[in-house]
Amino acid sequence: MAEITLQDIIKPENLVYQKTKLMTDKTLSYCPGCGHGTAHRLIMEVIEELGKENDTIGVAPVGCSVLAYEFMNVDMQEAAHGRAPAVATAIKRLWPGKVVFSYQGDGDLAAIGTAETIHACNRGERIVMVFINNGIYGMTGGQMAPTTLPNMKTATSPYGRDIDMMGNPLKMTELVSYLPGTYFVTRQAVHTPAAVRKAKRALRMAFQNQIDGKPGVSFVEIVSNCNSGWKMEPVQANTWMEENMFPFYQLGDIKVDGKLIDR
């Protein structure tokens, strides 16, 4: 049998997967194992598959993903900390035919930007909001976020989050699901191939809703790791996330087609 060379394999007909051209070739600025990069890729794949690369405007947050615009190869604006939903609101209102999404961390979306989040959701802006919940402020060095779990150690809760003193973790996604202006609300993860496939399906539904002119926000939370902030190895961080984050932040759809799911 003739020896098979690499050249024989690299042929268009053998192609099963390739990097979306909507991700730039820039090296991701994220820590190895971080979920941000995977989340970026999924959004870009969905936009490419929906044929919307020339009709999309994305809004990046302040947080580790502040440089999302370096990696996502579509028109992008970088918003002030927490204000992405207001920025996206105006873009969509002025260009109703375009696809508009915001991308935010938990500090950005659920602390400093709470008002913008709630009101964009309550007004029923026809945008996609992607929410990366890693339970911590990754960018600024691992301080407590509104989403930090009880007893979880961070730079500003060094002995663990004391609920009496520091308050409770905030389930922003459940909260917005009760608002009449949200059309699709789901919580996903991107730490395993199965989770990635589900998250991508959710993102596709979110963007499809917008393209179809469905009334309201499509809100996709992705529970993600922050191995640097959590001070863990990447694999250990994923295990910790499954054991601690997922029981508190339950994965799955919360609201579909404007109706709350009985969970």
Partner 1 sequence: MGELRLMKGNEALAEAAIRAGVDGYFGYPITPQSEVIEYLMSEKPHERTGMVVLQAESEVASINMLYGGGGTGKKVMTSSSSPGISLMQEGLSYLAGAEIPCVVANVVRGGPGLGDIQPAQSDYFQSVKGGGHGDYRLFVIAPASVQEMSDFVPLAFDVAFKYRIPSLIVSDGLIGQMMEKVELFDPIPRLTDEEVIARYPWATNGKPKGKERRILTSLDLDPHKMERHNWALQEKYKLIEENETRFELIGCDDAEYIIVAYGSSSRIAQKSIQLARKKGIKVGLLRLITLWPFPKKPIEEFVKNGIKGFLTVEMSAGQMIEDVKLVVEGRAKVEHFGRYGGVIHSPEEVLEALEQKLIGG
Ligand X SMILES: Cc1ncc(C[n+]2csc(CCOP(=O)(O)OP(=O)(O)O)c2C)c(N)n1
Which of ligand X, Mg ion, ligand SF4, none sits in contact with 34, Cβ below 5 to 8 A by type? ligand SF4
- Cβ-in-10-Å burial (0-12, 13-18, 19+) of 56 comes to buried
- Cβ-in-10-Å burial (0-12, 13-18, 19+) of 99 comes to buried
Which of Mg ion, ligand X, ligand SF4, none sits in contact with 30, Cβ below 5 to 8 A by type? ligand SF4
Given candidates 33, 82, 85, 105, which one binds Mg ion under the rule CB under 5 A? 105
> If phi over 0 gives left and psi between -120 and 50 gives alpha, with beta otherwise, what is residue 53?
alpha
Write down the least CB distance from residue 179 to partner 1, Å.
13
Is the dihedral angle over the CA atoms 189, 193, 198, 204 positive or is it negative? positive
Determine the interface stretch with partner 1 among 110-118, 154-162, 207-215, 216-224 (rule: CB under 8 A): 110-118
| CA 225/CA 211 separation, integer angstroms | 30
Over the window 223 to 242, marking each residue x when it contacts ligand SF4 by CB under 6 A and - when it does not, the resulting string is ---xxxx-------------
| CA 14/CA 12 separation, integer angstroms | 5
Which of Mg ion, partner 1, ligand X, none sits in contact with 139, Cβ below 5 to 8 A by type? ligand X
If one asks whether residue 181 binds ligand SF4 (CB under 6 A), the answer comes out as no
Rg (C-alpha) for the chain, rounded Å, is 19
**Helix spans in the chain (H):** 6-9, 35-49, 68-71, 84-94, 106-107, 114-123, 163-166, 172-177, 193-211, 227-230, 234-240, 246-248
If one asks whether residue 107 binds ligand SF4 (CB under 6 A), the answer comes out as no
Which of Mg ion, partner 1, ligand SF4, none sits in contact with 106, Cβ below 5 to 8 A by type? Mg ion
- Angle between helices 193-211 and 35-49 in degrees, nearest 10: 40
Residues 27-86 close enough to bind partner 1 by CB under 8 A: 53-57, 59-60, 66-67, 69, 73-80, 83, 86
| CA 227/CA 240 separation, integer angstroms | 10
| CA 72/CA 74 separation, integer angstroms | 6
Which of ligand SF4, ligand X, partner 1, none sits in contact with 54, Cβ below 5 to 8 A by type? partner 1
Residues 100-159 close enough to bind ligand X by CB under 6 A: 105-108, 132, 134, 136-140, 145
| CA 116/CA 195 separation, integer angstroms | 29
If one asks whether residue 35 binds ligand X (CB under 6 A), the answer comes out as no
Given candidates 50, 119, 250, 258, which one binds partner 1 under the rule CB under 8 A? 119
Where does this chain bind partner 1 (CB under 8 A)? 53-57, 59-60, 66-67, 69, 73-80, 83, 86-91, 93-95, 98, 115-116, 118-119
Where does this chain bind ligand X (CB under 6 A)? 62-65, 81, 105-108, 132, 134, 136-140, 145, 226
